[in-house]
Amino acid sequence: MRVLHLIGGGDTGGAMSHLLPLLAALERAGCEVQLACLGEGGLARAAEEKGLSVFVLPMRGARDPRVLPPLRRLLGRKPGWEVVHTHGMRANVPTRLAAASLWGPRFRGRGPRPGRPCFFTTVHSDLRLDYASAALARSYEVLDRATIGWVDGVICVSEALRELLARRGYPSHRLFVVHSGLDTAHFARLAAAGEAARTREPRPARLGTVARLAPVKDI
């Protein structure tokens, strides 16, 4: 299976923690996997360091129209992609617009859509909380809702997020919950380290959080 994932190159939050192990797992399963980053950034560099196939599309700012022609060429390459999967607004809207210009009614229409890939979007967070500017968040939400019907499925990382999108008018029949996967081998290493630590002298307790310490998390 030929799978293309697209995301902003600077997205280094939970989406990156989810996506990079997923790409490695898909490769181990025998898929032909390509990661396309819209713009440079920490995610693009991290993927390269892990030896993943990364293609960086030139993009400065979230509304840079120069990304559309190379994005259109990437989507239309031969042999074609079987699955196209976007993450985040920086990738969602440009990819949908490029696909609409490439496949026309076959992409935007309802029912069977022969001759083009299956399109999926993963929603990792509440769009209204992702941006400091309420006006910017609202404009992105309008664009997202206007084009969400063009994709085959919207993957939500939690049931709470699926319910939130449904309340906001997103088509319920397109919303699916798939929790982010975990590399269990990593936790096996941590367990071994924890066992070794118990043989040492007592130390002060340590507190941690499962969220990154960023304003959007409201911690």
CATH for 14: 3.40.50.2000
For 46-63, write each residue's pLDDT tens digit.
999 999 999 999 998 878
- Does residue 129 fall inside a structural domain? yes
- Does residue 215 fall inside a structural domain? no
For 173-206, write each residue's pLDDT tens digit.
999 999 988 777 777 776 666 666 666 667 787 7
36-57 in b/e form (b: 16+ CB < 10 A) is bbbbbbebbbbbeeeebebebb
- Does residue 193 fall inside a structural domain? no
- Does residue 206 fall inside a structural domain? no
User: What is the chain's length?
Assistant: 219
- Does residue 201 fall inside a structural domain? no
- Average per-residue pLDDT in the chain? 88
For 61-111, write each residue's pLDDT tens digit.
878 999 999 999 999 999 999 999 999 999 999 999 999 999 887 777 655
The CA distances from residue 42 to 10, 38, 74, 137, 158, in Å, are 5, 12, 22, 23, 25
Please state, in angstroms and rounded to a whole number, the distance separating the CA atoms of residues 62 and 8.
9
Q: Between 139 and 183, name the one with better pLDDT.
A: 139
- Does residue 205 fall inside a structural domain? no
- Does residue 199 fall inside a structural domain? no
Q: What's the pTM value of the predicted model, to 2 decimals?
A: 0.87
The CA distances from residue 101 to 4, 6, 71, 94, 199, in Å, are 18, 17, 11, 11, 63
**Total tally of structural domains belonging to the chain:** 1
Segments forming the whole domain that contains residue 42: 2-184
Q: What is the pLDDT of residue 192?
A: 66
